Amino acid sequence: MAASRLASKEVRQVLGIGAVCLVPVVLRNNYYIHLANAAMITMIVATGLNLLTGYCGQISIGHAAFWAVGAYTSALLTTRLGWSFWAALPASGLVAAVLGYVIGRPTLRLKGAYLAIASIGVGEIVQLVLLNWTKGTGGALGIKGIPFPRLLGFELATEFQLFYLIFAVFLTIFGVTDGIVRSPLGRAFLAIRQNEVAAQFMGVDIARLKVLAFVISTAYAGVAGSLFAHLQGYISPYGFGFKESVGILCMALAGGMGYRWGPVIGVLLLTIARESFRYFQDYQLVVYGLLLIVVIVFMPKGVAGSVPELVDKWRGRLRRRGQRRGQPT
Amino acid sequence: MAVILDVRNLSKSFGGLVAIDDLSLEVERGTIHAIIGPNGSGKTTFFNLATGLYTPDSGEILFEGERISGLPPHVIAHKGIGRTFQNLLLFGDMTAVDNVMVGLQCRNRYSLVEAILRTGSAVTDQMYKEATKLLDFVRLGGSRDQPSKYLSYGEQRLLEIARALGTNPRLILLDEPAAGMNPQETILLTKTIRRIRDELGVTVVIIEHDMRLVMNLAERVSVLDYGRKVSEGPPEVIKNDPKVIEAYLGVTEE
């Protein structure tokens, strides 16, 4: 029985991946495929935030900074030093992770709101540097002409082609995260979120693991930044501000913190909502905010956490009603 | 018999409040050692010092001959001291078995890569089995897959003991394990604590207000009052020590 369950799980995985591979074929419209690509990149950042906040209980409202660092690293390495995309991609994750370590070490000693405020500060500082260090980052003009990735001599230049590259990277990151979450390390992260004091008496090195969770999440953001730079071909400091940081955090929250499908659901949900209301440009943020309030009030654990609970509740209610009807009075 | 925990001239104040005042104490390996005293006499502060939550102002604590005072809690846990908490600190949303598994992880140290690779179901199954064994030991096997916040108060106390035993301690510090338990639960707890010492060979230090339990269980009792040790000895002696009666009931003026 165990073997058949395993087989069916693998079959489901292959079917799922196959279905996603058909998405660009079904969408066809370049703009929609572009949205899907951007959504997958956002999912990578949100997955890191989920690990940091949902599992380890530490908040960051400055993650767009590490996304930016990844994007600029990749852009500079490929345009100025002529690196290939394949070397720049991991390098971007590494640079963001190193910065994450340098920043995480002191700030993660702070708790709750203080950590959140410090992370906002980090986000602002990085954006100011990008904006004003004209020689290094191109300042407000940003960086143009970021080359498309090349694979076996071919340039991946269309949204259609890039979809599969981004999907492959996302899948890898999702798999690694799943591995971390199921491992003793993941259990230790959860223990920190649940009760920091108790965790340390159980031998969990909370200071080290908090920094580790932060570094992993910043590395993800860095990788996502690199993909973003090569997808857009052009980056400027304006796409990586406080608004973006909050946006990604909202998506992760709406999807469900601490649930592995949470970031995926949250990003899909809010991307679709934003696009559906894009003709009401002025009210876009209002709609966005309303949606978030609805999710938080009615589904405090996010969609991934609350929907199964609600379904259980409704099922129980239906069953009870059925029983009552069946009983002789 | 060797001394497992050696406390030497320990002092700790919080602002003007002297919580522990020049406390010296020896716990022999293989004993059940009770620490009693009125509220605010420094019992829990002593546990917090011994497990690294606080660093002493002066004095030192030796565990198996090695100085542990000043080390952080997770290092002391790895050295072999487990503890429970007066005010229940469980991982509420995690199941009973997962709570114990956090403790079990203390037995091995993994690097990051190892930790990620150790996701194989064989490893998890093995840990699950060990955790179940410990839950059975404290008679909680039936609730192993329940989120710990849904357990009764008494069950949560037992779960804390199982989780602490998971860290594979040679010394376990129990902070009021019988608080909130009914008489039947307390009798079972008494047996369980005795089995921790007899079957697992773990030395037990227990803070407890339930005097019947203390007198039943402990081989040695230390009495604290205002952070000082006012009396020490076997329970029969302690029961009739005028100093102990004074600490609990005050002095009569004649």
- The per-residue pLDDT for A111 is 80
Contact B77 A206 (CB under 8 A): no
The full length of chain A comes to 329
- The per-residue pLDDT for B66 is 94
Give domain limits for chain B. 1-80+169-254, 91-168
Contact B119 A188 (CB under 8 A): no
Q: Which of A183, A201, A204 sits opposite B115 (nearest CB)?
A: A183
Q: What's the token pair of residue A15?
A: 């079917």
Predicted model pTM: 0.88
- Indicate the pLDDT class of residue A281, thresholds 50, 70 and 90: low
For the cut 70, the answer to whether the pLDDT of residue B96 exceeds it is yes
Query: Which pairs count as long-range contacts for A204-207, CB under 8 Å and 24+ apart, including other chains?
Result: A204/B74, A204/B102, A204/B105, A204/B106, A205/B72, A205/B74, A206/B74, A207/A108, A207/A109
Q: Which of B85, B106, B117 sits opposite A203 (nearest CB)?
A: B106
Q: Which of A182, A188, A201 sits opposite B83 (nearest CB)?
A: A201
Please count the other Cβ atoms lying within 10 Å of the Cβ belonging to residue B109: 12
More confident residue, B111 or B243: B243
Chain A contact present for B116, CB below 8 A: yes
Contact B102 A176 (CB under 8 A): no
Q: Residue B49: its chain A contacts at CB < 8 A?
A: none
- Nearest Cα of chain B lies from the Cα of A177 at a distance, in angstroms, of 9
Could you tell me the domains of chain A? 25-326 (1.10.3470)
User: 3-state SS of chain B: helix, strand, coil percent to 5?
Assistant: 45, 25, 30
Q: Which residue of B has its CA nearest to A207?
A: B74
Alpha helices in chain A (DSSP H): 2-27, 30-49, 63-79, 85-107, 112-132, 134-137, 159-182, 184-194, 196-201, 206-232, 242-255, 262-276, 284-298, 302-326
Best A201, A205, A214 member to test B by mutation, with max B CBs in 10 Å, is A201
- The per-residue pLDDT for A145 is 85
Chain B contact present for A269, CB below 8 A: no
Alpha helices in chain B (DSSP H): 43-50, 73-79, 96-104, 112-117, 121-137, 153-166, 183-200, 211-217, 235-239, 242-249
More confident residue, A307 or A213: A213
Contact B119 A199 (CB under 8 A): no
- Report the pLDDT averaged over residues B132-144: 92
Q: Residue B53: its chain A contacts at CB < 8 A?
A: 197, 201
DSSP secondary structure letters along A7-69? HHHHHHHHHHHHHHHHHHHHH--HHHHHHHHHHHHHHHHHHHHIIIIIIT----S-HHHHHHH
- The per-residue pLDDT for B209 is 87
- The per-residue pLDDT for B80 is 94
Residue numbers of A between 50 and 109 with CB closer than 8 Å to B: none
| Mean pLDDT (chain B, rounded) | 89
- The per-residue pLDDT for A1 is 44
Q: Which residue of A has its CA nearest to B112?
A: A185
| Chain segment B168-189, per-residue pLDDT in tens | 999 999 999 998 888 999 999 9
Q: Which residue of A has its CA nearest to B51?
A: A201
Q: Residue B127: its chain A contacts at CB < 8 A?
A: 184
Q: Which of A176, A190, A212 sits opposite B94 (nearest CB)?
A: A190
Chain A contact present for B98, CB below 8 A: yes
- Nearest Cα of chain B lies from the Cα of A206 at a distance, in angstroms, of 8
- Indicate the pLDDT class of residue A319, thresholds 50, 70 and 90: confident
The full length of chain B comes to 254
Size of interface A-B (CB pairs under 8 A): 89
Domain B1-80+169-254: which CATH class? alpha beta
β-pairing, B3-14 vs B228-233, is unpaired
| Chain segment A136-175, per-residue pLDDT in tens | 888 888 888 888 888 887 878 788 889 999 999 999 999 9
Q: Which of B102, B119, B163 sits opposite A183 (nearest CB)?
A: B119
Q: Which of A185, A194, A203 sits opposite B91 (nearest CB)?
A: A194
Choose the weakest-confidence range: A161-165, A173-177, B13-17, B240-244.
B240-244
- Indicate the pLDDT class of residue A275, thresholds 50, 70 and 90: confident
